[in-house]
Amino acid sequence: MQDFRIIYNILRILQRSMDLEEFDKDSLSPERLGLSVPKWSRIMAMLIKEGYISGAETWNAADYGYPRVALTRPEITLKGLEYLETNSLMKKAADLARGIIDIAT
């Protein structure tokens, strides 16, 4: 469940950056997100591979046990925006259902 929160957070950062003329790549750094480099690399590689993020490259290096990632100009894609919208609606529905249960009990 924590990994999905990290993914959501990364996509939200990219969504908010759409208004910026220049993107601060440090906002997506492993340190800023509180992640180890291997975990950050694996999550970013998944997001790139699945088409949620563009403007980045991944490759496998023989001397690393995890994918390498280079962010050139990362941007959220339409698929990434759809992910955020779907998950926002699901969260609102879950919060509403939780509120109804709290009222009923």
Segment 4-45, tens digit of pLDDT: 889 999 999 999 999 998 889 899 999 999 999 999 999 999
CA distances from 86 to 1, 8, 61, 65, 102 (A): 16, 11, 35, 33, 24
Question: pLDDT tens, 49-89?
Answer: 999 999 999 998 888 889 999 999 999 999 999 999 988 76
In this prediction, residue 87 carries a pLDDT of: 84
What's the pLDDT score for residue 33? 96
> How many other C-beta atoms are found inside a 10 Å radius of the C-beta of residue 104?
6
Per-residue pLDDT, 40: 96
* Residue ranges of domains in the chain: 2-104
Q: What is the CATH number of domain 2-104?
A: 1.10.10.10
More confident residue, 94 or 23: 23
Residue 101 pLDDT level (bands cut at 50, 70, 90): low
Q: What is the pLDDT of residue 50?
A: 97
